[in-house]
Structure 1
Amino acid sequence: MIGGGAAAGTIVASADPSLPDRSAAELLVDLQNAKVDGLSGTIVQSADLGLPKIAGLTADSGGADLVNLVAGSNTARVWYAGEDKARLALMGTLGETDVIRNGDDVWFWQSKAKTATHLTLPADAEGKKPAALPTGVPSTPQDAAEQALDAIDPTTEVSTTGAAKVAGRDAYELVLSPRASESLIGQVRLAIDAEKKIPLRVDVYGKNAVNPAIRVAFQQISFDTPDAQQFTFNPPPGTKVNESTAGKLEAELDKEHKAAESSKPAPAGAEQPTVIGEGWASVVTAKLPKASGDEAKQLDGVIDMLPKVSGSWGSGHLFSGSLFSVLVTDDGRVFAGAVAPETLYKAAAK
């Protein structure tokens, strides 16, 4: 998980006197080896990415939970009693969405739609996690921490800073700081439970920012093993239940994906996305897919709502926030990264 070449700072956490000092290297080992038998709690994910309000994209058009992912907050409840007993419930403004695993049974339930899908896992599925909730649902601090740790490479400085208090528990703070001056991300801070060694909070800060642009944190947590009843799902009256298996569902999704791809003509001169630069300052570039009819009108309408920009590289439209920027050029190229617009302009000029 930890990328080679990243130097873990020698500074130790100047923790509360009741806590022993821990170096950054020791905290990284703690995270990798952490294991708990059970927990339950409330997770709050909040975000303020500084994005402009664009109808149908960041403005509220009915998908309140998706909007909250970029400008607002989401709340979820989590229960865990081992790899084969886990439950995550998104408490949305329009209803509740749950993923529940109990042994070989996995349920995916949406209260608003009054639908539930029941999957039976194969016998060799022991230790595998249940399917994730849809995009827009807050991650757990563990998921967010894993993503942050996967980004550690020689372009990352790893250090520690003081003690923290999260959900009433003592924690150390591990800090990941991009070395690249082009990066819009200033720091990623992980609060690690002093006793259980699991992440309790993950904060992502924009450069020179005082408040985090993204926070995923336990608001309340207990390490008591939840009652078995929490993992027993009985569909409420009126719920439409779809029976499936993990293999059948995967095959159906693959079939739908291939059908959707085959129904679209391959764009002329289509190219695979490429990456310019490395680490936190990398820029992904690709060509816009060819669209026609209503699809083209909708795409052009969204792009036209973005601010117009131009330079020696040409002209186009810019979508930017506190943690990332996206440039769409008039000749159909797209550049995106956790970098300032100027870095995208340089990439576009090459």
Structure 2
Amino acid sequence: MKNKPHKLFISHSSKDAEYMKAFVDLLVAIGVHKNQITCTSVPQCNIPVGCNIYDWLAKQFQTSDLHVVYAFSDNYYSSVATLNEMGAAWVMRCKWTGLLLPGFTFNKLAGCIDKNQICIKLDDPDIITLKQRLRQFRDDIIKEFGLESIDEDEWEEKRDDFLDKIKIIAQQKNVKTTPSNPVNGSNNTKGKTRFDAPVAQRQEIDLLKDYTPFSKVKPIISCGDEKVAKIKTFADCFDMDVDISNVTKRGMGEFAMALMKYIPCDNWTGFFDAGYAIEFDAFASGAIKKVQLEIKNDTGVKIIDEENDVRIGGGHFKYRFRDKVRNREALEKISEVCFTVFFAESYIDGEKGRLSIRNLKVTPAYE
């Protein structure tokens, strides 16, 4: 089956056209061709003359691997057209990135999008977080579109030029930027958590050593057959043996999961505030190729959902909370940490395998 071409669709209000022209310039600097970008405010990226935009969009959803960029603003939510675009993209389950234009705040996000997904606030006063999120977006686009890496000096110049343009446009529009607290979108009023003392001293926390004295890591199998997955829990690690030889139904809807369940929920907001990351070593033998890290809140929403390739000796994986969640409130009620092997060929391409997790910790990402 031939791979669909990668394309970007920028969903925005025509009243925010100047911002989008600057954003398209940044995409081109990264290496995306204008014929891979659809943005109705940029002539070279517009839809063909005479096309009905909704018919054209429907065709793009079907024929392209479409990545939607939402440019959220008050103008966006006042436009029926853009809200229809959001609904169409949601129905087609498109990958998406959110930009919060100057003056627009996280608490105004609405509609069918996942409000826990990270967005980029273009007037964020926390410049370190803003630059890191733009870098992550750049890296994701380079990987997704198969582009060559941009020179770091050139990237910093183009990124800073983009941010300067955004600031100037906001000033010209007399947009009053809404100051956030030092952490993007967060409320800096901190409640006490059991991790406050070690975090204040910039200490790492071994999550397995913290968890295993009171609970074992438990296997959860979607088909209900206990023979499919067995877990051995140690003080600072665990192994999960998976055997799907008798499983008939396979695919991304079926899985074996190693579950760490927190009762009551754990408050991880301090990790966000202090710039911490979650990291671990994962190794696999046999047929297992990948494992999914899933961190969920008390309603079952996945706060972090990351695929990890554990073939050929496994690897060390690290995810900084500020890069993966929108604000500290998302980490206020952590209920589950899961390591999931789906019964799809991309995750397990045979019958049996062993997954080993070591050194599961939260650590200071930088000083």
Using the size of structure 2 for normalisation, the TM-score is: 0.25
More strand by share: 1
Using the size of structure 1 for normalisation, the TM-score is: 0.26
More helix by share: 2
